Structure 1
């Protein structure tokens, strides 16, 4: 079993070994209002989940309920509310020209990871400021950094790193809901929304890590260096 250290130490090591420009972002799912970590304020503006992730990577700590989530499709993937009907059926993305037919849009939406709508809020923090155990840790990286992180993921147990995405609902469903539900990391390339609204760059890829094995990842990066 790999030991975990304080999250400030882990964040520093991720930045050091990967050469990250931005802080990794810690995400915690909260079922009830009473479970919000002490001292964490509610988000002071309404933004998309991908924008909230970027806000946290810049140093802010906060929580957001469905009311603070501007993108309702993303909020639904994260378990904060029911999906709007047109998102659920794929009609919304078909209307945007993302699919050749409503059937292909619906098939894709049915395969995207979604958490049952039972969550009260998500807590966001730069990893070094997390006063909670994160369920998911998001790393915004370039391809070379993601490569090194992928090598760290297979360093101890072997195997392969799977990348599961469809070019929509990327930072919400692919990078957070998927790792939370499946208990394994995922790599995704962003989506039109996150690149338009959340300043995801052309050469950015997004890695969603599960919180419980982050100590192993740090040990692997250290040994590989």
Structure 2
């Protein structure tokens, strides 16, 4: 029988607080790099509403713009005209994936052996849809200058990152799978997250490290703020179970049973018991 009582839609939850998310990440995982908020804007004029926004005076890579937020704590807004070329702007959806982009001719003989290899790489890249947005801004996630950002970017070392992923899988588990496009790995992180809405882990590429200031030991996870809040809730639960960062080495020659019992199950029977 149909319930005749009308049901209102559940109220929308407020967006996660960037300051609280950042504080939790530093407390639980001891990050050394400030998480970043990224937001796309339909019109360049919309950037004027962002407090304390800086605009570039030179030509940059998108990696540098993100690095200015993550490494320097700045809030920066750009359009395609501020970026060095479509390899950066197309990933953000600020320029089209036109024929020249799809061919990838500048990569031939530098990053890839043949024109076919370069074109295959360009086809493999995740890019935000073109035509919806004209500008992008980044800011420290805890600055609160970009309300309701599209995605958050978290830089972390592999040990910190696996606990963050474990936290994301704490409830509603599903296998998470990513790829490596290689050069232009921003397509694997913010490009994929913007295009698909999925949490997206990437190995930062040569330009991200050379121009964006990403150190040797950091990986990058791009995800929606609500997904980050879910991951942090999971990391809190893992920490309550003794699964915390830093992960202390147990010893490669130690009897493992006592340690495994704490992390994976009940205590083992005493030695010599039947």
Normalised to the residue count of structure 1, the TM-score between the two structures is 0.90
Counterparts of 2:143 and 2:60, CA distance in 1: 21
Q: How many residues align?
A: 223
Say which of 218, 227, 236 aligns to 1:204.
218
Find the residue that maps to 2:90 and give its secondary structure.
helix
Change (3 A) 1:5 1:112: closer
Deviation at 1:3, TM superposition (A): 7.4
Counterparts of 2:13 and 2:41, CA distance in 1: 26
Counterparts of 1:41 and 1:23, CA distance in 2: 17
CA deviations 1:85-124 (Å, max 9, x no partner) are: 544212222231x223221221221121112332211110
**Is the 1:174–1:187 Cα contact (8 Å) retained in structure 2?**
yes
**Is the 1:2–1:215 Cα contact (8 Å) retained in structure 2?**
no
Say which of 102, 112, 125 aligns to 1:88.
102
Gaps of at least 5 residues in structure 2 are 1-11, 240-274
**Is the 1:170–1:189 Cα contact (8 Å) retained in structure 2?**
yes
1:24-43 equivalent positions in 2, closer than 5 A = 24-36=35-47, 37-43=49-55
**Is the 1:156–1:220 Cα contact (8 Å) retained in structure 2?**
yes
Residue 135 (1) aligns with residue 150 (2): yes
Counterparts of 2:178 and 2:27, CA distance in 1: 24
CA deviations 1:155-197 (Å, max 9, x no partner) are: 11111222222112112x2211201111111111111211222
- Bigger relative contact order, structure 1 or 2, given CA contacts below 8 A and separation 6+? 1
**Is the 2:168–2:228 Cα contact (8 Å) retained in structure 1?**
no
Give the structure 1 partner of residue 115 of structure 2: 102
Change (3 A) 1:4 1:223: farther
Find the residue that maps to 1:155 and give its secondary structure.
coil
Asked which structure has the greater CA Rg, the reply is 2
**Is the 1:141–1:206 Cα contact (8 Å) retained in structure 2?**
yes
Find the residue that maps to 1:95 and give its secondary structure.
coil
Residue 22 (1) aligns with residue 37 (2): no
**Is the 1:80–1:120 Cα contact (8 Å) retained in structure 2?**
yes
Find the residue that maps to 1:139 and give its secondary structure.
strand
Deviation at 1:218, TM superposition (A): 1.8
Q: Which one has a larger percent helix, Structure 1 or Structure 2?
A: 1
1:120-199 equivalent positions in 2, closer than 5 A = 120-131=134-145, 132-171=147-186, 173-199=187-213
Find the residue that maps to 1:77 and give its secondary structure.
coil
C-alpha RMSD of matched pairs (Å): 2.1
Deviation at 1:27, TM superposition (A): 0.2
Normalised to the residue count of structure 2, the TM-score between the two structures is 0.75
